[in-house]
């Protein structure tokens, strides 16, 4: 797959921080860093918009998805409140992350901490075609748990 070139501007309050980067060769997301001037303490149930110190210009036809980091969620109950958040191709302001603490203890966001990940993805543009009837499908109108909770061992076609 060919890389997509994204213009990035490092803002003054993040001049000493590295740009977002992939943590491994096959990582889907780049780590976003907290560009806070001082520690931000999130109490249990608290949330705050955390600056990343970067502004980007995505090519037309792309978005950047801001997603939680699994380690923060598993260890601390910390996540991205509107995850995934979307950065549109025409947005030129600072990328921010709404970090929420659902854990039982206060959580401290420190300067340079990896707070989220950003995935750059192609966007399909939809065009509505209004119809009187939708085509049938195997699932039909079933939703909100209609496919059950069973795993690979569950009988095919049953709602476990």
- pLDDT surpassing 80 at residue 89: yes
Domain-embedded: residue 96 = yes
pLDDT band at residue 151 under the 50/70/90 scheme: low
Count of C-beta atoms within a 10 Å radius of residue 16:
10
In what order do the strands lie in the sheet containing 62-67? 21-22, 30-33, 114-122, 62-67, 85-87
Give the pLDDT confidence of 23-64 residue by residue, as tens digits: 999 999 999 999 999 999 999 999 999 999 999 999 999 999
Domain-embedded: residue 43 = yes
* CATH number for 28: 2.70.40.10
**Cis preceding linkage at 84, omega within 30:** yes
Domain-embedded: residue 31 = yes
Q: Which domain holds residue 33?
A: 8-122
How many domains are there within the chain?
A: 1
Domain-embedded: residue 150 = no
CA atoms of 129 and 24, how far apart (whole Å): 42
Among 71-80, 112-121, 150-159, the range scoring the smallest mean pLDDT is 150-159
């Amino acid at each position: 797959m060919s890389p997509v070139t994204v213009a990035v501007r490092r803002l003054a309050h993040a001049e000493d921080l590295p740009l977002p980067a992939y943590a491994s060769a096959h990582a889907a997301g780049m780590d976003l860093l907290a560009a806070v001037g001082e520690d931000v303490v999130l109490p249990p149930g608290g949330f705050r918009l955390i600056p990343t110190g970067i502004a980007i210009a995505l090519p037309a036809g792309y978005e950047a998805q801001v997603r939680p980091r699994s380690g923060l969620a598993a260890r601390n109950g910390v996540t991205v409140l509107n995850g995934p958040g979307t950065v549109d191709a025409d947005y030129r302001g600072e990328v921010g992350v709404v970090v929420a603490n659902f854990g039982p203890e206060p959580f401290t966001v420190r300067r340079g901490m990896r707070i989220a990940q950003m995935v750059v993805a192609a966007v399909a543009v939809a065009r509505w075609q209004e119809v009187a009837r939708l085509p049938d499908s195997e699932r039909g109108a079933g939703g909100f748990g209609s496919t059950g909770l069973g795993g690979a061992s569950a009988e095919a076609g049953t709602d476990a």
